[in-house]
Structure 1
Amino acid sequence: MRKILVVGAGQSGLQLALGLQSHGYEVTLMSNRTADEIRAGRVMSTQCMFHTALQHERDLQLNFWESQAPKIEGLGVSVAAPGSWAEGPAARAIDWVGKLDGYAQSVDQRVKMAGWMETFAQRGGQLVIHGAAVGDLDYFSRTYDLVLVSAGKGELVSMFARDPERSPYSEPQRALAVAYVHGLGPRPEHPEFDAVRCNLVPGVGELFIMPTFTTSGRADILFWEGIPGGPLDVFNGVKDPREHLSLTLELMERYTPWEYARATNVELTDAGGTLAGRYAPTVRNPIGRLPGGGLVLGVADVVVANDPITGQGSNSASKCAAAYLASILEHGDKPFDEEWMQATFDRYWEIAQHVTKWTNAMLAPPPEHILNLIGAAGELQPAADRFANAFDDPADFENFFYEPEKTAAYLASLS
Structure 2
Amino acid sequence: MRKILVVGAGQSGLQIALGLQSHGYEVTLMSNRTADEIRSGRVMSTQCMFHTALQHERDLQLNFWEPQAPKIEGLGVSVAAPGSFDPGPSQRAIDWVGKLDGYAQSVDQRVKMAGWMETFAQRGGQLVIHGAAVSDLDYFSRTYDLVLVAAGKGEVVSMFGRDASRSPYAEPQRALAVAYVHGLGPRPEHPEFDAVRCNLVPGVGELFVMPTLTTSGRADILFWEGIPGGPLDVFQGVKDPSEHLALTLELMEKFTPWEYARATKVELTDANGTLAGRYAPTVRKPIGRLPGGGAVLGVADVVVANDPITGQGSNSASKCAASYLASILEHGEKPFDEEWMQGTFDRYWETAQHVTKWTNAMLGVPPEHVLNLIGAAGELQPVADRFANGFNEPADFENFFYEPAKTEAYLASVAQA
TM bin, normalised by shorter chain, reads over 0.9
Distance in 2, Cα, partners of 1:85 & 1:351: 38
Distance in 2, Cα, partners of 1:83 & 1:241: 30
> For 1:11-410, what aligned pairs fall within 5 Å after superposition?
11-410=11-410
Distance in 1, Cα, partners of 2:244 & 2:89: 20
| Deviation by residue 1:56-77 (Cα, 9 ceiling, x = unmatched) | 0000000000000000000000
| Unaligned 5+ runs, structure 2 | none
Distance in 2, Cα, partners of 1:101 & 1:311: 17
SS in 2 for 1:138: helix
| Deviation by residue 1:94-131 (Cα, 9 ceiling, x = unmatched) | 00000000000000000000000000000000000000
SS in 2 for 1:206: strand
| Deviation by residue 1:254-283 (Cα, 9 ceiling, x = unmatched) | 000000000000000000000000000000
Query: What TM-score do the two structures reach when normalised by structure 2?
Result: 0.99
Distance in 2, Cα, partners of 1:26 & 1:85: 57
Offset of residue 87 of structure 1? 2.1
* Sequence identity percentage: 90
Offset of residue 34 of structure 1? 0.2
| Unaligned 5+ runs, structure 1 | none
Distance in 1, Cα, partners of 2:76 & 2:190: 10
Offset of residue 333 of structure 1? 0.2
Distance in 1, Cα, partners of 2:53 & 2:79: 28
Distance in 2, Cα, partners of 1:89 & 1:251: 11
Offset of residue 35 of structure 1? 0.1
SS in 1 for 2:157: helix
Distance in 2, Cα, partners of 1:189 & 1:315: 27
Distance in 2, Cα, partners of 1:194 & 1:233: 29
SS in 2 for 1:293: coil
Distance in 2, Cα, partners of 1:190 & 1:253: 21
SS in 1 for 2:73: strand
Distance in 2, Cα, partners of 1:53 & 1:247: 33
| Deviation by residue 1:234-272 (Cα, 9 ceiling, x = unmatched) | 000000000000000000000000000000000000000
| Deviation by residue 1:44-63 (Cα, 9 ceiling, x = unmatched) | 00000000000000000000
SS in 1 for 2:348: helix
Query: What TM-score do the two structures reach when normalised by structure 1?
Result: 1.00
Offset of residue 185 of structure 1? 0.5
| Deviation by residue 1:148-201 (Cα, 9 ceiling, x = unmatched) | 000000110000000000000000000000000000011100110000000000
Distance in 2, Cα, partners of 1:278 & 1:329: 36
Offset of residue 88 of structure 1? 1.8
Distance in 2, Cα, partners of 1:234 & 1:26: 47
Distance in 2, Cα, partners of 1:43 & 1:270: 10
Distance in 2, Cα, partners of 1:342 & 1:39: 35
SS in 2 for 1:189: coil
Distance in 1, Cα, partners of 2:103 & 2:283: 29
Stretches of 4+ aligned residues off by more than 3 angstroms: none
Distance in 1, Cα, partners of 2:88 & 2:283: 40
SS in 2 for 1:225: strand
Q: How many residues align structurally?
A: 415
SS in 2 for 1:136: helix
Distance in 2, Cα, partners of 1:331 & 1:95: 49
| Deviation by residue 1:274-326 (Cα, 9 ceiling, x = unmatched) | 00000000000000000000000000000000000000000000000000000
SS in 1 for 2:244: helix
SS in 2 for 1:20: helix
